[in-house]
Amino acid sequence: MPKRFRLTRRFTTAMTEDGYRRLRKFADEAGLDEGEALSFVFENFDSIMDEGAFMQKMRAFNSELDARKR
């Protein structure tokens, strides 16, 4: 029997404009709303990410974070 899809958690989050635009684009392309798109990404995180590229991008993001907050 398929698992029922229920959005049971809601949280306030802050995103960059670039990140939110990309989320909306992904959601539109997939025919989902933003919450469903985020659920899909995190439920399937291990199978859709390239760990090497992820760590490289995470280091770059963290190194720029303080400057981006100003």
Domain chopping of the chain, boundaries: 17-69
* Euclidean distance between CA atoms 62 and 64, whole angstroms: 5
Angle between helices 17-30 and 34-43 (to 10 degrees): 90
- Note the pLDDT tens digit of each residue in 15-42: 989 999 999 999 999 999 999 999 999 9
* Euclidean distance between CA atoms 52 and 56, whole angstroms: 6
pLDDT of residue 21: 97
* Euclidean distance between CA atoms 34 and 37, whole angstroms: 5
* Euclidean distance between CA atoms 63 and 9, whole angstroms: 30
